[in-house]
Amino acid sequence: MHTPTNFDQTDHTGTLTRYDGASPLAGIPSRNDIVAEFDNGMTTILQQSLSGKQPIHFMPTEVSDDIEGYSSYILRITGSLINGQKVVVNITGIRPFFDVEVPENHSPSSLKTILARILSVTLKNTTKFGFEDIRAFPLQGYYTEKKSIYPYKDVEPL
């Protein structure tokens, strides 16, 4: 059941506060304040794991990618550690790749020749790319048998 609410839009008596995101708000705890209050020894466990070069497990909450203006791919994983602190992991050095399904009217070797020519022209005569012939089920649809798929690896970005 919806109860209509009357709101007087002409009543402008009140304090307007703007937040610029740069400075902390008075009286509102920051993430670090909350972590410190409810730590329960988790930061010590985390520091021991770091100093012992042990794996640090965290729950990823966001995955994004970026090139940050460079010809390099960056995979960014954001999450929370066991003590509640925020963690951002940047994985760099990933070479781009893509898969191509071999059409019924082409053999894997003929498609490889065609794609090598296309990549060479597209990448301005760069020959730094590789081919790998695999047989797999395509990602979409229902198939009773595996198909030839070429994953192209080590393609140099423009």
Greatest extent of the chain over all pairs of C-alpha atoms, in Å: 76
Name residues whose C-beta falls within 8 Å of residue 128's C-beta, 6 or more positions apart in sequence. Answer: 154, 155, 156
- The residue extents of the domains of the chain are 31-94, 98-153
Q: What is the pLDDT of residue 11?
A: 63
Residues near 98 by beta carbon (within 8 Å), at least 6 away in sequence: 151, 152, 155
pLDDT of residue 52: 92
Contacts of 126 (CB under 8 A, 6+ apart): 119, 120, 156
pTM of the model: 0.45
Give the pLDDT score at 157. 45
Spatial distance between the Cα atoms of 33 and 131, rounded to a whole number of angstroms: 52
101 within 8 A of 145, measured Cβ to Cβ: no
What's the average pLDDT block by block, 10 residues per block, for the chain (158 residues)?
Answer: 56 68 76 79 85 85 73 81 85 78 83 86 73 74 66 49
**3-state DSSP assignment of residue 136:** strand
pLDDT at 158: 40
